[in-house]
Structure 1
């Protein structure tokens, strides 16, 4: 009954008011059927810019799964007003991620997307990465605490080779291991869009950190980078401390050390690994 009241109240507001920008349906015990009702309303609405359907409460939390996410994604394909979708803590799974990926191929308004804690594996991550190769509006993507490993991280790295629109990427809590570490580190050499990257607690490795340090000499854009809580030894080189110092310097003056600018961006992968 509570949710029916929320839906009716929202419908009533839309009929009587021409300004309704933020819709917060967090922790309302929503399921797939409820998500379909929301999708119908979104298809008819041109004023909502922020939609929150996130869950951080196990008792009253939302439980939207793949079918519900597909319905919401279908509604957002042609929606030109919603800029922020916070859906963290639901159960999208790869099915929901695929629906979101299809939406990202055609949506031209969404700038912030949070689908952390949604049981998304490499399969769903790859679909989203492929969609972002053609998407030109999303600037902030949060995929924290999903089930993304090296294959998904590699797909994201390949996407970052082509996408300069995305500004912030959060992968905290995924397990990208050595292969994913290397690919994400290497792709930063040419990316000119990303300004913030969170790789905390991702299994980021020493080899990835070595490649990362070289890539950062070629990348003048990244200003915030977190590689904390990863299996990176402090000896013989404390890469985490070096990264932290570099980010502090960049956030302070926004410029690279002068000698770094003499390195060419055309360095090959083989040359990069040889210089580690």
Structure 2
């Protein structure tokens, strides 16, 4: 026995409507602004960048769309910064991948994120120019080499800065459920420090574009970004000027 085409179409329409009902919808809002002195002024700046972490629930399509909608009401220009090359470190730690395999997997995940989310921009009424850019692209620049070497030196020579970065890494990896031995724990902390330094160097590269007139002075992120808050609060005064001028806007979600 075969079903009539009309029955199939009606069943499909019901299924599609159910999917639409079940799909969560979110609104993005400000959670915090650092430094606090920029709370009432950061929206006067016309450019921002959004740090995008791969394989992170805060960047699932519905939440990513909510962020894009929020940005489109605030800024004229936005770089969507895909943390592809940095995600290799996460893969090395969480999946015990060899470095070369982790790099390939991370770059593939970054490309997939862009392809899977490009359609969102056709559904949002906007006056904002959005541009996807990857960390792997920025890492090939001379500016990146300059900033990364400078941050490495600062990390090695400034006890307060080094202790802060290591403390964030230790806090993240010290979990009784993981039960890491000391050697593995120290290895993971070292990789986390490398992650932070790479992240800072990439952000400094964005800031240098037109610095100090324009650049991309506002960083958006849905969650905690640890050591960067200390830098934005002026707790590491000898770090490069590009990072000291950063305004960090943490976002949160509310279901509609």
- Range class of TM-score, shorter chain: under 0.3
More helix by share: 2
**TM-score, structure 1 as length reference:** 0.23
